[in-house]
Chains A and B, each alone.
Chain A
Amino acid sequence: MPSFGAQKGVTSESSSVFHLWQGFSIGAVVIGGFVVVIFVYAIVRFRRKGDNIPRQSQYHLPAEVAYTVVPILVVFGLFAATLVVENKEVSNPKTDVIVNVNAFQWGWKFTYPGTHTSVIGQTTQAPTMVIPVNTNVHINLTSTDVLHGFYVKEFNFSRYALPGVLNQFTINAVKTGTFFGQCTQLCGLYHSLMFFNVKVVTMPEYTAWLAKTSNASTSSAAATATNQQTNTGVPTKPATSQGGN
């Protein structure tokens, strides 16, 4: 089946979204194609050939009923498919792997509750969130200042980080690798430079990484977090010259 421009992504949720995308696209191509065909046919076939006045027909009840009822049925079909994928995405199954994601102007902080691991980075020094593969990872998303958008293309998913709101969702990555993420909701001057990475590793690698960073953080008093500004409301300029020329 064609992809219709979308990709399967790297999580179990993203492939459900992809299949939903395919379903919607087939509907769009069939209905849109039908409309374009009769539209173009009408343009070609009924172009003016003289000064005749055509039959002034105004109503055709069976046709009108058909193009009211058929779209209603299609809409409820699409809605049913939507509900299946939506329920999967918002189900939040229980899991032990939890990452607290905090967005701020203009960077991200990933903390792992129960450990001392904390990763922070801003603008072009993008932080990396490490998560294990084939595991449900529960994300607690918050914002300290304005709205931000947590978006990773390969997840086929985005969610706002809202001040005063705890947004929760679960991802289950099925492939290892490093994936690029970016803020998608306008958040001020350096919105376009608010990057992060998600690194999906195997469970043993994840536990090893967590143990290492957790100890390092304890011994050096959370060095990563203190080295950089932790959003006190005074933004610093990004390192690159692409900044605010």
Chain B
Amino acid sequence: MADLLNPAAELADDGHGHGHHEEHHGPTGILKWMTTTDHKIIGLSYTVTSVAMLVIGGLFAEIIRAQLATPDGHLVSLAQYNELFTMHGSVMIYLFAGPFAFGGLANIIVPIQIGAPDMAFPRLNALSYWLYLTGAITMLLGFFTSGGAANFGWVAYAPLSNSLNTPGAGADLWIGGLLLTGFSAIFTGVNLTATIFYLRAPGMTMFRMPIFTWNMLVTAILILLAFPVLTAGLIMLYCDRHFGTHIFSTAGGGVPVLWQHIFWFWGHPEVYILALPFFGMATEIIAVFSKKPVFGYKSMVFATLSIGALSLGVWAHHMFTTGVVLLPFFSIMSLLIAVPTGIKIFNWIGTMWRGELWFSTAMLMSLGFLFTFLIGGLTGVYLASPPLDFFTHDTYFVVAHFHSIVMALVLAGMGGLYFWGPKITGYMLNERLGKAQFWLLFIGTQVFTFPQYILGLDGMPRRVPLYIHNPEWKMLNEWSTIGAVMVGISTIIFVVNVGYSWKRYPAGDNPWDAQTLEWFTTSPPPHHNFYRLPQIRSERPTWDYNHPEHKSLAHGAGAGAEHQPTPLAAAVTVLEHGQDEGPNEGANE
């Protein structure tokens, strides 16, 4: 672990002679890692841990796909299969996608993007990481209990998840692990919200924040609204299992379907808690590699806000087939989400329009994201219609739909690593390996999801290890397995690339001619991120500094009038950097 953190250790050394004395006397090596409150080191720890979770969750997926390559596979038992898909979903959603985005990249990038020295609550940030790591280990420890890991699906529907139907410690470790990572997410949500509201540099008004920061703000607010509900639900579930309550069991007058309401009241905002950060990554990357500003910046912000708002009113579209929810309301709310999502897709294409597209690995990943997300988005519209949901619910059509979405997020996330990795570590990743990884990941994703759409329409249910009555599904399942193997190989290429490129290609401060504030400082940034700041007069201060003759067009009116910087942010910046904003500040280092 200490080795992985070398770049971060170096970054502390860069602070010499700039008035940051704490690191001179601080611990080094593993002790430094364990005691750090630097958002960049914590963010890097999050990134490394969550990518490890991606590998673990991916391994489960490969076993699942191997089992399904034949109608009556004997690779795993029925019980093991239930554990595998439960833990595959749990690891990918709870331990990879969220923490990778809001704990990893957002933690590193957001403070730098808004010109802040660190997160608002650095110690809370450290606590978040340790809760996450502990929670992840706790959940995975289920495999080492006598009853095996949790096996009730990642949604843990009551009453299957009660102590009668799922006895054993694996389920309890799942609940405990999820409680811990849930608190970690809540604390990160608090931290991001406070940082974005209070630590923006002078001149960084709300409507000059990069789209990634905007998306993280909305994500953080959604976390604060949704995760406490899950936490409460998990405590109720634990009480049902161990303290004799009957909240989710009919035996004592409880209501099993209440669990679904609580779970999805968290679970649907969670979909956007996962997705919005990756939308933000793709937005930044597409703009930089088109050499243009984000097209329709303000409509992008309002689209994000409306996705966030709508996401709180659509939870029961996961419950259409329960027969106990108001169908038309949840149907129209869910359909309406297609509108802001569509605005985003058109804005991304608008950003590319008449640009100079540079197909770096990061850009290819983002374009792959756009296409894959389009497929997942279109098939999602079907599922918002109750009759079509009755038709496809709990079949592989749904599995294919959300794997199109989450694989799009994986593509965007990989793009994020290729794009911001040089900023975090100071070194570039190899582009040839990157492009090989992209093509395998992109094509593999389509090869594994498309057969699943067809299988779902042909009636193959989810969560079955056998399809003995339908041997005709074998060929499509084989294709799906081939696609999954391609995705697996692409992940191996990524790990190889990280090893191969280790300290090989120095990045410089701004290798992509990028636009936002994080590219103004050094790679990696110094301990408190900046020695000096440029004037911030738009959402892309670094671009304005480097290309003063190429300002965004049709953006002048009203752009400066929205918000004044908060006094606290101004004061902190003055304290940290010993200077106020003024004309003609220092050169780009």
Contacts and interface: CB of A to CB of B under 8 A. Distances in A.
A159 B323 CA distance: 7
A56 B297 CA distance: 13
A64 B353 CA distance: 14
B388 A54 contact: no
Nearest to A105: B165
Contact of A54 (B331, B349, B355, B458): B355
Interface stretch (A94-102, A150-158, A206-214, A219-227): A150-158
Contact of B356 (A43, A49, A145): A49
A56 B292 contact: yes
A164 B255 contact: yes
B461 interface: yes
A188 B256 contact: no
Contacts of B367: 39, 43
Contacts of B469: 180, 182, 195
Contacts of B349: 35, 38-39, 42
Interface in B228-263: 250, 255-257
Contact of A24 (B77, B292, B385): B385
A235 B499 CA distance: 51
A191 to B, nearest CB: 6
A171 to B, nearest CB: 12
A17 B164 CA distance: 38
Nearest to A244: B78
A100 B82 CA distance: 30
Contacts of B250: 163-164
Interface of B: 72, 74, 77-79, 82, 152-153, 157, 159-160, 164-165, 250, 255-257, 290-299, 321-324, 327-328, 331-332, 335-336, 338-339, 342-343, 345-346, 349-350, 352-359, 367, 370-371, 374-375, 378-379, 381-382, 385-388, 390-391, 393-395, 453-454, 457-459, 461-469, 547, 550-555
Interface in A24-81: 24, 27-28, 31-32, 35-36, 38-39, 42-43, 46-50, 52-60, 63-64, 67-68, 71-72, 75, 78-79
Contact of A5 (B82, B381, B393, B454): B454
A167 B370 CA distance: 40
Nearest to A146: B160
A89 B387 contact: yes
Contacts, number: 266
Given A54-B291, A67-B342, A89-B387, A59 B296 contact: yes
A178 to B, nearest CB: 12
B356 A63 contact: no
Interface in A213-245: 233, 240, 242-245
Contacts of B157: 146-147, 185-186
Nearest to A31: B378
A35 B345 contact: yes
B342 A20 contact: no
Contacts of A71: 338-339, 342-343
B79 A63 contact: no
Contacts of B322: 160, 162, 165, 167
Contact of B552 (A58, A146, A147, A183): A58
B588 to A, nearest CB: 17
Contact of B290 (A46, A72, A188, A189): A46
A158 B257 contact: no
12 contacts: A28-B382, A39-B367, A43-B367, A48-B359, A68-B299, A86-B385, A149-B321, A160-B321, A164-B256, A184-B462, A244-B78, A245-B78
Contacts of A203: none
Nearest to A66: B346
Contacts of B153: 186
Given A47-B359, A48-B357, A192-B466, A82 B386 contact: yes
Given A24-B382, A162-B256, 11 more contacts: A5-B457, A47-B356, A48-B358, A58-B552, A59-B296, A67-B343, A72-B339, A146-B157, A165-B323, A167-B323, A191-B463
Contacts of A112: none
CB-based closest 3 A-B pairs: A153-B459, A192-B464, A184-B394
A1 interface: no
A146 B165 contact: yes
A241 to B, nearest CB: 9
B324 A162 contact: yes
Contacts of B298: 59
Interface centre among B74, B367, B385 (most CB of A within 10 A): B385
B385 A82 contact: yes
B466 A193 contact: yes
A243 to B, nearest CB: 7
Interface string A186-205: 11111111010000000000
A174 interface: no
Given A58-B293, A63-B350, A85-B387, A165 B324 contact: yes
